[in-house]
Amino acid sequence: MSEVLLGIDIGTSACKAAAFDRDGTVLAQVNEAYPVYYPKPGWAEQDPNDWWEAVCKAVQRVLEQGIRASDIAGIGIDGQSWSAIAVGGDGTVLCNTPIWMDTRAEEICGQMKARCGEQRLFETSGNPVQPMYTMPKVLWYKEHAPQVYRNACKILQSNSFIAYRLTGVMTQEPSQGYGWNCYRMERGEWDRELCKELGVGPQLLPDIVPCHAVIGKVTAEAARLTGLAEGTPVVAGGLDAACGTLGAGVIRPGETQEQGGQAGGMSICVDRCTADSRLILGAHVVENRWLLQGGTVGGGGAMSWFEKEFGAAERTAAKANGTSSFAELDRGAAGVPAGSEGLVFLPYLAGERSPIWNPHAKGVFYGIDFSKTRAHFARAVMEGVAYSLKHNLEVAEEAGAQAQLLRSIGGAANSRLWMQIKADVTGKRFAVSSSDTATALGAAMLAGVGTGVYSGFEDAAARTVRTKSEYYPNPEAEACYANGYRIYRQLYENLKNLMNEGEAE
């Protein structure tokens, strides 16, 4: 079995390793979980060594499913955004990394704006200064963990850290550049002078290479730990959302990926730097393309939280029915009318990202009365996430990026009810890929392009991407959701001052 491509996905809750043939068929896939640590309010961190250990175990288990290491033509890695992995000269991880939902560097952001000017920083990177981004976290190290900053050789991202462990080569690729406020988005290069002005030593910035570039080969030590063949090519990889966008077949301007993983949101492919301070602008893993992105912290993670805390009855029913607790939650929620009979949910469970950018935002259920059941709450969670998506899409349209068909990926895409809710709330058409592993597939596609398995991105998408199902908006439900969306928007506006005051106490 030649030309097998391996995709490694470093998610928030688990690592996924998946092997694909050149047509995108999954040959083997494995998940290995690891924890998130919440040591203080506003902090969310992980140990990158946990990621590496999970990668080693996951790859070993993939190979145990009949994949020969010698058949793997290339390896691609994608990972969660906005890591700040401080590694020493010998590659040692110096501390846990704050992850994408960590807001400890909020005060640092004010210092950055005062030092260099908010507008200048935005014009350079195409993104506002936010505490979740990489640069403020590095400056946080400098101020609050000086020994970490002093001993750091490079600051790596999640995918580049795993690529380093596999190859011994430290790199940075464009799709993760947007976490650095000194990254020149349009030109794809570092502004080293701005980096110095901000107070970060430019020596911490790895060299930038294309996402599909082969950066090195699996070392003897990595081969021993993973079971991979020494000398297997490894490409730089990219941001999970960008790889998922590629894995969904979104490579042309106007095409859009909708994310239904732990975090929710969308990525609209554009052929120019269309920056808007309310959204996220990042380089696509496809050269000369960018992604105008919107994201909520409460995507699929909001339903996972609800299931964990309130889904005991559904877990019991799932055992009796041979289903899953999420399928049972779907079943109950499907019996509740569109709009959840006035119950509205704000999915701001760890602050919120675009377009409100408020680390103090809180989750809210509004409209509770004696008639409401657990099924109402489950449906309201789905609808709240869909309202967040609609909000981001509206802002993107104001910025000049119009989404028509949205290609959905992530676990939430397996819920027919949730997909229909999203179509009804947004008034858009949705398509779900036949692959449940679009993010890892995107990483594998990068490896295929980089190693010559595919002649280019058009060839890769044409060979691998197929649609499983489509969803069209129901005009009657659209009208109902218009009122729910109005309440959703007004709730935050009415409560935001209270949310912010609560954090200040």
Mean pLDDT of successive 10-residue stretches along the chain, which has 505 residues = 89 96 96 97 96 98 97 98 97 97 95 97 94 97 98 98 98 97 97 97 98 98 98 97 94 92 89 91 97 90 96 97 97 98 96 92 98 98 97 94 90 94 96 86 98 98 94 93 97 97 65
Residue with tokens 């988005």: 185
CATH number, domain of 147, equals 3.30.420.40
Residues 219 and 305 in one domain: no
The 10s digit of each residue's pLDDT in 401-436 is 989 899 998 889 999 999 999 999 999 999 998 777
**Nearest alpha carbon to residue 391 among 360, 368, 358:** 358
Residues 336 and 418 in one domain: no
Which residues, 6+ apart, have CB-to-CB distance to 396 below 8 Å? Answer: 266, 268, 276, 279, 292, 294, 402, 403
Domain that holds residue 488: 300-394+475-504
pLDDT for res 284: 98
Residues 383 and 435 in one domain: no
Q: Which of 222, 240, 258 is the last residue of a domain?
A: 240
State the Cα–Cα distance between residues 199 and 142, nearest whole angstrom. Answer: 9
DSSP designation for 352: B
Hey, which residues does 470 pair with through a beta bridge?
A: 431
Residues 417 and 270 in one domain: yes
Q: How many domains does the chain have?
A: 3
Q: Which two tokens stand for residue 32?
A: 């290995």
Residues 312 and 443 in one domain: no
Residues 20 and 103 in one domain: yes
pLDDT for res 503: 61
The 10s digit of each residue's pLDDT in 177-229 is 999 999 999 999 999 999 999 999 999 999 999 999 999 999 999 999 999 99
Residues 405 and 389 in one domain: no
256 CB-contact burial (10 Å; exposed 0-12 / middle 13-18 / buried 19+):
buried
Q: Which two tokens stand for residue 244?
A: 């998922």
pLDDT for res 504: 53
State the Cα–Cα distance between residues 26 and 247, nearest whole angstrom. Answer: 13
Residue type, 294: G
Residues 151 and 60 in one domain: yes
pLDDT for res 286: 98
pLDDT for res 290: 97
Residues 286 and 355 in one domain: no
Hey, which residues does 16 pair with through a beta bridge?
A: 9, 31
Residues 345 and 276 in one domain: no
- Give CA separation, 175 vs 78, 205, 243, 388, in Å: 10, 15, 9, 23
pLDDT for res 326: 97
**Nearest alpha carbon to residue 487 among 373, 359, 383:** 383
- pTM for the complete prediction? 0.88
Residues 332 and 453 in one domain: no
Residues 115 and 30 in one domain: yes
State the Cα–Cα distance between residues 244 and 443, nearest whole angstrom. Answer: 8
**Nearest alpha carbon to residue 198 among 101, 125, 103:** 125
